[in-house]
Amino acid sequence: MNGILTWDDLNKFEVEDLDIVNGINNSYANLRLFGHSENDALVTLYRDRHSWCPYCQKIWLWLEFKRVPYRVKKINMFCYGQKESWFLEKVRSGKLPAIEFKGQVITESDDIIAFLENEFGVLGSSITSSHLIKIRKLEREIFRSWCNWLCRESINSIDNSFRKKRFKESISKLDEILSRSKSGFIDPSVSNTDVIEPGVGDIIFVPYLERMNASLIYYKGFNLRSNYRHIDNWLTLFEGTSTYRGTQGDFHTHSHDLPPQMGGCFKESNEQQISFSKQIDTGEGLGNYELNKNFDSKYFAKIALKRVIKHKDNLIKTNPYDKEYFEESLRSALTYMITDEVIIPEKLSGKSLRYLKDRISVPRDMPIISARLLRQSLNKIELLCDDNEIDGIPLGHRYDQDPARFLLN
């Protein structure tokens, strides 16, 4: 190769277009039909634009596994942008998720599922069944113990050990339930094609387990999957479904979207925490701990490339650092991602590449593997720069992720 690939050169690396309406689950669709007609889409799901909200993910998964045709309208979360005025007129609190069905608006995720069950039938067990009462209580117990360890600063090591112990006691109860499951799921359901899939009892748990898996390894150095093999197997079963993967965030996204949502996350400085968080922040990722599935790296690299090309003008316009250097530096990183060749730009801006690397959001922007490959490529080129200045990711808010500038075009 003679040099860094041009945008025209990069455009030649084609990947098959995804059928976002009837194909596999994805974060880009505003309409999902599963082979039905558009007139059959009587449900409108209001979910957060960045796919950060765990309660939105719960409803999203239920609709996808149940294969109910639905429309999607994406709303900002308060932590990264101004809530849309038309939505506040519809839902005064601004809370997400919400659904609309034949003019009726329902909020609160469990109430939404109960309503959907009444209209479309259950997925596994009913969310209101006595069978799931203990399961739902356990999910809240695990949630509270996780918050208590992650989001409250410990007075001393004894206090921290106690919080950790309480979390381990709670999460062990889930691992024990899963150890007795023949299917590997908490509440298995059977699809129309006789495939065993997760039911509502599983969907209740997975959004926050996904976030626990990410946050505890990043902030505490605690590896959930290596400590609880039945939970690891359960997550692996979920990750084997394209339905779940379409909603799944990665460790980098959750580690940095949680602090403003949770009111802060506190680090426990130890050797594992330092090592794990460094791998996550540099873009190396944590392999099977994030997604336990084999993948075709060339295919996912092309997806990442296609997503960057689609948004490149806004990416260049909104990057606050070294605008005159960023465009060439970005093409250098993309050239490396696609060809494995390192070609140093004449004008290299490590800081602008770091800014982009830290703001890739999964699944909003692309799948986990695509994001991992893109982050690794950005990191490869940025490290060639002598400028080691770091642009910090905000902790109290994420207005740096405000979508307003991207929605103008």
Grouping H, G, I as helix, E, B as strand and the rest as coil, residue 134 is helix
Q: Would you state the pLDDT for residue 269?
A: 87
Reply yes or no on whether the pLDDT at 391 is more than 90.
no
Q: Are residues 81 and 176 in the same domain?
A: no
φ/ψ bin of 319: left (φ > 0), alpha (ψ from -120 to 50), beta (otherwise): beta
Domain boundary among 210, 245, 280: 280
C-alpha 296 chain-centroid distance: 20
Distance of alpha carbon 344 from alpha carbon 358, whole angstroms = 21
Stretch 402-408: mean pLDDT: 81
**Domain ranges, residue 59:** 42-120
Q: Are residues 331 and 221 in the same domain?
A: no
Answer whether 50's CB lies under 8 Å from 401's CB.
yes
Distance of alpha carbon 245 from alpha carbon 259, whole angstroms = 23
Answer whether 123's CB lies under 8 Å from 189's CB.
yes
Q: Are residues 262 and 371 in the same domain?
A: no
Looking at the structure of the chain, the number of domains it has is 3
Q: Which residues contact 312 (CB under 8 A, 6 or more apart)?
A: 7, 330
Q: Are residues 143 and 267 in the same domain?
A: yes
Q: Would you state the pLDDT for residue 273?
A: 97
Reply yes or no on whether the pLDDT at 199 is more than 50.
yes
Q: Are residues 105 and 163 in the same domain?
A: no
Distance of alpha carbon 254 from alpha carbon 213, whole angstroms = 9
Distance of alpha carbon 115 from alpha carbon 408, whole angstroms = 36
Tokens 């129309």, residue?
192
Grouping H, G, I as helix, E, B as strand and the rest as coil, residue 107 is strand
- Evaluate whether residue 185 is within a structural domain: yes
Show the tokens assigned to 148.
Answer: 């208590």
pTM of the model: 0.96
Show the tokens assigned to 104.
Answer: 């009726």
Q: Are residues 116 and 140 in the same domain?
A: no
Reply yes or no on whether the pLDDT at 1 is more than 70.
no
pLDDT, averaged across the chain: 95
- Evaluate whether residue 148 is within a structural domain: yes
- Evaluate whether residue 366 is within a structural domain: yes
- Evaluate whether residue 301 is within a structural domain: yes
Q: Are residues 59 and 173 in the same domain?
A: no
CATH number at residue 164: 1.20.1050.10
Q: Would you state the pLDDT for residue 324?
A: 83
What is the per-residue pLDDT across 90-124, written as a single tens digit (0 to 9) for each?
A: 999 999 999 999 999 999 999 999 999 999 999 99
- Evaluate whether residue 292 is within a structural domain: no
Show the tokens assigned to 324.
Answer: 């005159």
- E strands within 123-178? none
Answer whether 375's CB lies under 8 Å from 252's CB.
yes
Q: Are residues 244 and 336 in the same domain?
A: no
Distance of alpha carbon 237 from alpha carbon 404, whole angstroms = 37
- Evaluate whether residue 17 is within a structural domain: no
- E strands within 196-339? 196-197
CATH number at residue 98: 3.40.30.10
Domain boundary among 55, 90, 120: 120
- Evaluate whether residue 125 is within a structural domain: no
Q: Are residues 99 and 57 in the same domain?
A: yes
Q: Would you state the pLDDT for residue 408?
A: 54
Reply yes or no on whether the pLDDT at 409 is more than 50.
no
What is the per-residue pLDDT across 271-329, written as a single tens digit (0 to 9) for each?
A: 999 999 999 999 999 999 999 999 999 999 999 999 999 999 999 999 999 888 999 99
Q: Are residues 136 and 116 in the same domain?
A: no
Domain boundary among 213, 247, 280: 280
Q: Are residues 275 and 139 in the same domain?
A: yes
- Evaluate whether residue 54 is within a structural domain: yes
Secondary element (H or E) of residue 100: strand 98-101
Strand partners, 43: 70, 101
Q: Are residues 85 and 138 in the same domain?
A: no
Distance of alpha carbon 353 from alpha carbon 391, whole angstroms = 10
- pLDDT over 90, % of the chain: 90
